[in-house]
Amino acid sequence: DIVMTQSPDSLAVSLGERATINCKSSQSIFYSSNNKNYLAWYQQKPGQPPKLLIYWASARESGVPDRFSGSGSGTDFSLTIRSLQAEDAAVYYCQQYYSAPYTFGQGTRLEIK
């Protein structure tokens, strides 16, 4: 199984500042035949299901603010949220969908100062 490891486990960032969450996969999740990284990012707020933010490592899901951006390739990825808003307080997960079982990171809790 591919192990997904996020860092940090939690972080507190001030309103209007930038937050960066990292995700590392135990093996490459880049598929050379289509030049895509099989990596997604989700946001989960209390009492709600996860919400897809980013897929193919950097493609923003429809309706997601452009404050959210994803980057990286191979085994190392990042989610960056710029100009933090109060509503961005949540737990963020990365997920690989390169090969089953489709595994998730342990989650990063983002607190807004």
Residue 56 is a binding residue for another protein (CB under 8 A) = yes
Between strands 90-96 and 39-44, the pairing is antiparallel
Q: What token pair was written down for 67?
A: 């404050």
Report the distance separating Cα 44 and Cα 27, nearest Å.
Answer: 25
Residue 37 CB burial class (10 angstroms; 0-12, 13-18, ≥19): buried
Residue 55 is a binding residue for another protein (CB under 8 A) = yes
Residue span binding another protein (CB under 8 A) among the ranges 17-25, 71-79, 81-89, 96-104? 96-104
Residue 72 is a binding residue for another protein (CB under 8 A) = no
Residue 108 is a binding residue for another protein (CB under 8 A) = no
Question: Rule CB under 8 A: which residues touch another protein?
Answer: 36, 38, 40, 42, 49-52, 54-56, 59, 61, 93, 95, 97, 100-107
